[in-house]
Chains A and B, each alone.
Chain A
């Protein structure tokens, strides 16, 4: 079974600075998808960024980018020019590219709480 590990329970960053959140995963599959979700205090789960394992190019969405190292099974999230609204729990998630029975089940890490200091 696949597992996702987020080794940083909490992180903090100064407003306007850059922070990197770590995520590692364990899988024997070659085709899969990785996601970062953000959960602000409102508890809504918001998709931040998505990466296909077969793509070598790192995904980017505005101030959010990933460093995807397939051989190392690492998928870190970099937030540039941090804003107060970025404060949230961030979850890394894995989805098989060949989902059993056609399901698209997600496996989540335990999350990293990000605090943004003004």
Chain B
């Protein structure tokens, strides 16, 4: 079945450490997205990518980095510059050619500070 796989489900970060969250999709979608969700907040966009080797900053990109070397993969690195990384991270994808297509989401990764 087609879908979006995020791993790991839970991740712990030590102070000063970079960690990478994985997102893989087999939906043949062009666009991929990373969102951050905090308690009492909606989802906020971190980065998005419309095509391979191209990505744009979202609303809260500081302290994060991404790459898009393959259509299927869009990993997110939470760097040590992100001082408050504890949150739930959701990856999503959507087809680019057909307008109005909804975004499909993975099951998320919960990141906590040790």
Contacts and interface: CB of A to CB of B under 8 A. Distances in A.
B48 A105 contact: yes
Given A47-B102, A106-B103, A101 B40 contact: no
Interface stretch (B13-21, B67-75, B93-101): B93-101
A29 B102 CA distance: 19
B99 A97 contact: yes
B43 A105 contact: no
Nearest to A111: B42
A102 B108 contact: no
A108 B99 contact: no
- The CB with the most chain B CB atoms within 10 A, among A47, A106, A108, is that of A106
B43 A103 contact: no
Contacts of B56: 101, 103
B111 interface: no
B64 interface: no
A109 B37 CA distance: 12
B107 A102 contact: no
A37 B83 CA distance: 29
Nearest to A91: B42
B100 A102 contact: no
Interface string A68-105: 00000000000000000000000100010100011111
Interface residues of A, number: 25
Contacts of B45: 105-106
Interface string A1-21: 000100001000000000000
Interface in B31-49: 31, 33, 40-45, 48
Given A44-B105, A101-B56, A106 B50 contact: no
Interface string B1-40: 0000000000000000000000000000001010000001
Interface of B: 31, 33, 40-45, 48, 50, 56, 58, 88, 90, 92, 94, 96, 99-105, 107-108
Given A42-B107, A47-B102, 18 more contacts: A4-B42, A43-B88, A43-B108, A44-B107, A45-B90, A45-B92, A47-B104, A50-B100, A52-B100, A95-B100, A97-B99, A101-B56, A102-B50, A104-B101, A104-B103, A106-B43, A108-B43, A109-B42
